[in-house]
Chains A and B, each alone.
Chain A
């Protein structure tokens, strides 16, 4: 049986690990290489690195971290933030990335997904979607460029185009819940799950293990990602899983 996954998300800014709130204020929470080693020892299922440097968008910070992390972490590594073209993908895969996470460049050109997926296989192409609830029309607005640019396409249409173009997985992040530790945006995750037939990683808002249980039980999300929950306090993937296993949720066993 395929297992549910728990994925620590690490945000990178100036070679440091940071944690944002509502895509805005941030705190320095440490050294990303040291934290990755700890996640490797605490049975994380995968690691996600997102470069959130807004001033100069390039994949350089991702390549720097990949060089070090791939020597000590023997699990799938997914990286994104600043990916613009196939050359970027080439350097990331060549340096040990298993999956790449693409967001902003997709809105301008869905064909980018197709080219990437044909070259590297759809399993390695993750599309990241940053969404924020529109309080007037109750729909979700989508944002690119680290949450700074509002896109006009609807969530359902965007998902349809991404799936058709060959996306392998959807990483959906709630801007409203980011860093608040008040629970996942269950409505958003369900909407994404109901509108596409791809594995889904939900992100944004986990503050305790019960939040993860709710999201796993109410939606059919395949993986949950979290930052703050593991960044602050004495929590790690092992403890999360031992709590969640009491609720008939299955995770990988490696001991």
Chain B
């Protein structure tokens, strides 16, 4: 009997606010097949989903809801296919956002998104290279060493309802969750596409992940 090889096709969601080019450049650099699509065009042949994000929680969520694109992402999740959220794309995986008024998120990982506390002499956004303490093993973090630096740009943080969903932690004014996961979903507060060697490794690991832990 002939083996059926399942082709990988990574779908990168275009939410019109993001710097998609750096993500697609990273995937091209790694020779990974990918397409840029609107969430409404998610199809059966897409094996993995990347939700990038720059912008505002409520703007992005309201856009997704308006066109019922949020249910397309939720259905993709129900198929147990791997989903990766980056920065705001990670934050909208939560149940509730706080930016420009309370807005419900995709609710794939229970928790809420709140503004970070900044101290005197520390400014928001938190921007620059900061280290990530890895709390648990995960297939997507294969060969990623503990306490490496990644590139961050954000003012909001993801508060988890269940601490078991935390994979990585970072300190800026306070400890916050920099990597979160639940089932076939993983989210990064930092930008792997801007984080040189280990950032590229994360994309490679994600594209080799089957969504199980």
Contacts and interface: CB of A to CB of B under 8 A. Distances in A.
A3 B149 contact: yes
B19 A74 contact: no
A116 to B, nearest CB: 14
B185 to A, nearest CB: 24
Prevailing SS type, chain B contact patch:
mixed
Contacts of A242: none
B22 A253 contact: no
A122 interface: yes
A72 B197 CA distance: 11
A122 B131 CA distance: 23
Interface string B101-131: 0000000000000000000010101111111
Tell which of A72, A98, A198, A251 has the most Cβ of chain B within 10 Å: A98
B21 A94 contact: yes
A147 interface: no
Nearest to A253: B149
A2 interface: yes
Contacts of B21: 70, 94-96
A93 B19 contact: yes
Contacts of B129: 2-3, 5, 45, 251-252
Interface stretch (B23-31, B37-45, B73-81, B204-212): B23-31
Interface string A188-219: 00000000011100000000000000000000
B137 interface: no
A140 B26 CA distance: 43
A3 B25 CA distance: 26
A2 B174 CA distance: 12
Contacts of B123: 197-199
B148 A253 contact: yes
B149 A222 contact: no
Given A121-B54, A254-B198, A98 B131 contact: no
A70 B22 contact: yes
A200 B149 CA distance: 20
A254 B147 contact: no
A76 interface: yes
A43 interface: yes
B176 interface: no
A75 interface: yes
Nearest to A3: B129
B57 to A, nearest CB: 13
A254 B199 CA distance: 10
Contact of A253 (B131, B171, B194): B131
Contacts of B26: 74
Contact of A75 (B54, B147, B194): B194
A205 B73 CA distance: 52
A70 B28 CA distance: 11
B95 interface: no
Nearest to A222: B128
B196 A74 contact: yes
Given A1-B171, A123-B125, A72 B29 contact: yes
Given A98-B22, A122-B125, 5 more contacts: A2-B172, A74-B196, A252-B131, A252-B149, A254-B149
Interface of B: 19, 21-22, 25-26, 28-29, 54-55, 121, 123, 125-131, 147-149, 151, 153, 171-172, 193-200
- CB-CB nearest 3 A-B residue pairs: A252-B149, A252-B129, A96-B21
Interface of A: 1-3, 5, 40, 43, 45, 70-72, 74-76, 93-98, 121-123, 168-169, 197-199, 222, 251-255
